[in-house]
Structure 1
Amino acid sequence: MTYVFRSTQTEPAARGREFGQQHAEKILASVENYHALFERVASRPFDLCALGANALAQIEAFAQPLYQELLGMAEGAGIKAEYLGAINARTEILAYLGAQLRGECSTVVRLEPFSGKPVAVQTWDWYAEFADQWLVWEIPHADGSLTTTVTEFGILGKAGVNTRGLGVHFNILHHERDGRDIGVPVHVLSRWMLDTRSDINQALQLLGSAAVSASSSLTLIAAVDNSSAAVSVELHPGGPGLVFPDRDGLLVHTNHFLSTPAREGDTEPRAYPDTLVRYDLLVRRLANRQGLTPRHVLAAMNSHLGSIGALCCHPDPGQPRAGQYATLASIVIDVASGTLTALSGGPCGHPQWLAHH
């Protein structure tokens, strides 16, 4: 059962305090789980508070309202703000610590030529010990707009959609230039984009302005009237690269770079080549097909190829949960209506959503 929380406050600090007060126990668990993960994968000594302070400085300089929201959240939860800075920069800190992370998320977007309602679906795969640490957060703004994001307790945002006609899917990437410092956290960047931008041009300008220190692909989807567009923005410390849909409107992204020159420094295919298998499988299942729906995409993602190419990922029940990967959520974004559906777990757990091929 997916947990949904809707904020009642629109002022950033007050919104943060409300969230922190309501979810103090879950936020503390997020911090503890990430601290344990950092210690498990670190290849160098680290001071979590110092890294969190660095992240907070980046957030303050980039998005002052979100910095105030984090301070309010820390106050509400009764926890040091530096710890919240650290978990919001969990991608950047993992890169800084030299962690060899496996990427498992898979994203599919399909644009119809004259339809304002694109299909946008992803699986979100992460460590199985975080399976109970995420939610759908609905965030009203003073101007009447709404941001909806799938995120973790204590983290400001991730994949999501706003009511201004913009949505975003998330895939982690890995580049040899990652981790040299702590840059603007990609999770904060995604949330700020959804809070403040209303079209792809504005979003691209914002993403291009951010000095990031860890790589991710943010796939943007826009729909206004009868027009739609999409682009994957491959962020890395050398600057963003752009990947557009093919001539039939299909855009697939897993966990390797598709743009140049960043792909020359991509470390993922060497370490975890299953990203190439998953990409190929989705393209073969979905290319040249008309009338695709989210159900068709989820059915294509209902693939269990073990450790090689699993699109619907499950931990081995015979092994300790910590350190294993699982599909934590399957996310369907409806950009035209400004809403999303987050299904707990992988596609196989929701047979009612799987279309017959």
Structure 2
Amino acid sequence: MNPPLIAVEGTYEEMGAELGRRTSELVARSLETYLRRFRDQAGLSDADVLRWGATYLDVARGYDADIAAMLEGLAAGAGRPVEHITALNARTEMLYGTGYRDEGCTSVAVLPKHTRSGHTLLAQNWDWHPEQGPVTFLLATRDTEGFAVLTLAEAGMLAKSGLNSAGLGVCANLLVSDRDKGGAGVPYHYLLRGVLQSRTMSKAHRRVLDVPRISSGNLLIADAGGEAIDLEVAPEVFGTLLPQDGLITHSNHFQCPLPLVDRKAATSALTLLRPTRARHLLEDAAAAGTLEPADIVRTLRDHYSHPDGICRHVDPDVGKDEQVSSVYSVVMDLDARELSIAAHPPCERPYERWRLAELFTPGAEPEICFPIEEDHA
């Protein structure tokens, strides 16, 4: 089942409160899962979680007042301690900063000169624990100035991959390095929301790069202006990748020569080949200038090295807590401000296309697109 749409409008505190009220049961389920993971896999007590949650609340207030107001409103609306909500939004740091390791995603950006429509395209498969699928949804926000964001979000959180009304979009990929640490830095999911709150590419860069970071991560950013850039970030260092032949592809290892030790490259399923595999599948159409969203969908449904390919399936030999799959697959047309999404497994489901301009109309419904192809059935 594809995710529901939750659309909220108003001030950031009002939007957070409405989001909390409408997703309170999902927030409870998401918190139950992550509090268990914090305890069992990261060794964090309830007191530890509240203490770090308070730290990340202070960080949010210093990083972006609108993000902080939305988090505080969400907590009030859901009837939860705000420290639990900020801990959820810092779950990467809460888990990975303590030595816990898990999975990531495959992302793609295509410049407009290489697409049939002349539009910038951005896409990814989000590979994560299947248990989070039912508590993940599309979050649409529109503030009092009319600025709108559409993003995938786990319950209690504010961002993942998405786009905004300025035509700017971002995709997320997990990275892990020996520089990752605990402390009072800006959590990765704050950075994602910070990008989506940006009206220009320049401001998005500053929201990611000119801040203290305590964890590694990858942000593939593109816009309707026709540019794309990949930012590999870690505490105190960062690297950039620019399009080659109109494409950027990324997974879960560092591709830039940064002064760090990559803690994920050797263990993340097929990460060393997934970006190259995606490029191989897309490069002919990109070279011809005829690449379409359907070409990207076929790539996101690719089963090379099954079950660990771009279209990730659960490995039956892996324990339940370590199971990972392509929970959701997302394709964005940044010029049209459209986001298409399919739930796991995207190889067996059509996508649903949402148009940002229509999300706040009562009774808004998505358009079914990208039907299942015979060779992926």
Structure-2-length-normalised TM-score: 0.86
C-alpha change, 1:255 and 1:319, in structure 2 (3 Å) is closer
Residue in 2 aligned with 1:230?
A: 228
SS at the partner of 1:218? Answer: strand
| Partner amino acid, structure 2, of 1:33 | T
Counterpart pick for 1:158 among 160, 163, 168: 160
Q: Which amino acid aligns with 1:266?
A: D
1:1-357, aligned counterparts within 5 Å?
1-8=2-9, 10-42=10-42, 47-103=48-104, 105-113=105-113, 116-195=118-197, 197-224=198-225, 228-246=226-244, 248-262=245-259, 264-272=260-268, 274-289=270-285, 290=288, 291-305=290-304, 309-316=308-315, 321-350=320-349, 352-353=370-371
Report the CA distance between 1:343 and its aligned residue.
Answer: 1.4
Quick check: 1:119–1:292 contact (8 Å CA) kept in 2?
no
Aligned in 2, Cα 1:321/1:165: closer, same or farther, shift over 3 Å? Answer: same
- Which secondary structure state, in structure 1, belongs to the residue aligned with residue 227 of structure 2? strand
* Alpha carbons 1:43, 1:98 under 8 Å: kept: no
Conserved in 1, the CA contact under 8 Å of 2:127 and 2:326? yes
Cα distance between partner residues in 1 of 2:49 and 2:177:
23
Q: Deviation digits for residues 176-214 of structure 1, max 9, x if unmatched? A: 10123242112122212212x222122112211121111
Paired residues of 2:249 and 2:276 also in contact (CA < 8 A): no
For the 8 Å contact 1:116–1:223, the answer to whether it is kept is no
Q: Is the deviation greater in 34-43 or in 49-58?
A: 34-43
Secondary structure (helix, strand or coil) at the match of 2:194 reads helix
**How far apart, in 2, do the equivalents of 1:319 and 1:89 lie?**
26
- Aligned to 2:280, the other structure's residue is in SS state helix
Give the aligned residue type for 2:242. Answer: F
Whether contact under 8 Å (2:93, 2:182) holds in the other structure is no
Mapped to 2, the partners of 1:305 and 1:126 lie a distance apart of 19
Residues 16, 43 of structure 1: alpha-carbon distance in 2 compared, 3 angstrom cutoff: closer
**Structure 1: how far apart are the matches of 2:309 and 2:32?**
29
Separation in 2 of the partners of 1:80 and 1:306? 43
Are the aligned partners of 1:19 and 1:73 in contact in 2 as well (CA < 8 Å)?
Answer: yes
CA distance in 2, matches of 1:176, 1:311: 26
How far the C-alpha of 1:269 sits from its partner, in A, is 1.4
What is the RMSD computed on CA atoms of the aligned residues?
A: 2.2
The structural deviation recorded for 1:317 is 5.9
> For 1:21-78, what per-residue CA distance to the aligned partner results, in whole angstroms no more than 9, with x for missing partners?
1111111111111111222322676711111111111111111221121111111111
Please give the alpha-carbon distance, in whole angstroms, between the structure 2 residues aligned to 1:319 and 1:92: 24
Alignment check: 8 A CA contact 2:27 2:78 kept: yes
Cα displacement (A) at 1:90: 0.5
Q: Tell me the SS of whatever aligns to 2:158.
A: coil
**Alpha-carbon distance in 2 for matches of 1:155, 1:167:** 18
* 1:339 to partner: Cα distance: 2.6
Amino acid at match of 2:331: V
In the alignment, is the contact (CA less than 8 A) between 2:307 and 2:314 conserved in 1? no
Name the amino acid aligned to 1:162.
N
Q: Percent identity?
A: 28
How many correspondences in the alignment? 349
Q: Secondary structure at the match of 1:221?
A: strand
> Which amino acid in the other structure matches residue 68 of structure 1?
A
Q: Is the CA contact (8 Å cut-off) linking 2:181 and 2:214 kept in structure 1?
A: yes
Equivalent residue letter for 2:299: A
Alignment partner of 1:183: what SS?
coil
Separation in 2 of the partners of 1:44 and 1:79? 19
Q: Distance in 1 between matches of 2:95 and 2:321?
A: 16
C-alpha contact 1:92 1:183 (8 A) present in aligned 2: no
Structure 1: unaligned runs, 5 residues or longer: none
Q: Shift in Å at residue 145 of structure 1? A: 2.1
Moved more, 289-298 or 343-352: 343-352
SS where residue 276 of structure 1 aligns?
coil
Cα 1:309–1:245, aligned 2, differ >3 Å: closer, same or farther? farther
Q: What amino acid is the match of 2:272?
A: L
Moved runs in structure 1, 4+ residues, more than 6 A? none
Distance of 1:180 and 1:86 partners within structure 2 = 13
Letter of the structure 1 residue corresponding to residue 88 of structure 2: I
